[in-house]
Amino acid sequence: MTRRSHEQLRLTADLAILTVREGSLQVLTVHRGNEPFRGHRALPGGFVRPRETVDDTAARELREETGLAGVHLEQLAVFSDPDRDPSGRVVTVAYLAVAPDLPVPEAGSDATAASWEPVDQMLDPAADLAFDHGQILAAAVERARGKLEYTTLAAAFCGPEFTIAELRTVYESLWGARLDHRNFSRKVLGTDGFLTPTGQRTSSGVGRPAMLYRRGPATTLHPPMLRHSMDLPVSPERRTTRTAGPRRVNGEHPG
């Protein structure tokens, strides 16, 4: 019997961490401090440590890169192209993480800087993200866009308390569409369990104070809020461009 030779395989977790800042969909990127792709922008991530599951690694990387725990985090896909990492055979499990407006975190041990960048700019081939992180980011954004139709994921982009206008900004930022505010309010308030009123109001100093809401107990939307039924979308190249948004409500996590 001939013994088969097996190339050593290493496993990583990479995170597409999305947030809405200043009315635009943004992703956390780092400047790599090590080879390969030294100096290139990349998604945060790292190797799976001994005695860690890949989910443990993703949660650890999220804490290290954002300082947060308990935010929305889910497996996205496995990326295993043999040539995706020039340093050797590395398979990565990609994750989608969603959180409210976050500060700029400190860079990790293998990065020289961390920053929030507009998603549309990072999806441009000219951004030249390291490895196959452009593919990972594109898959993450499409997953988030689709989940807004059938789930209450949009509320995870908001703070613990938020206005309907702030929630609408999330949909507009991800879908790249201007939504009619009356139609949107009617849909979200008419969906059982989507929002829970706090009984409090907030004011930006202009107009009538707006009602504050919390995320309700529902996790799915019945009926769904389909993109094609919520006003006409803008052209694909403008899907994640900035939209005028209201004042943010501060909060560390969506709860």
182-192 per-position pLDDT tens digit: 999 999 999 99
What pLDDT is attached to residue 117?
Answer: 95
- CA-based radius of gyration for the chain: 20
The angle formed by the CA atoms of residues 164, 168 and 173, to the nearest 5 degrees, is: 150
The H or E element containing residue 162 is none
Do you find a cis peptide bond into 36, omega within 30 degrees of 0? Answer: yes
Q: Could you name the CATH architecture of 10-148?
A: Alpha-Beta Complex (3.90)
What pLDDT is attached to residue 242?
Answer: 40
- With a CB cutoff of 8 Å and minimum separation 6, the contacts of 5 are none
pLDDT digits (tens, 9 = 90+) for 56-111: 999 998 888 777 777 889 999 999 999 999 999 999 999 999 989 877 766 555 55
Instruction: Cite the residue boundaries of each domain of the chain with CATH code 3.90.79.10.
Output: 10-148
What CATH topology corresponds to 149-238?
Arc Repressor Mutant, subunit A (1.10.10)
Angle between helices 181-189 and 164-175 (to 10 degrees): 110
Low-confidence ranges of the chain (pLDDT < 50): 1, 232-255
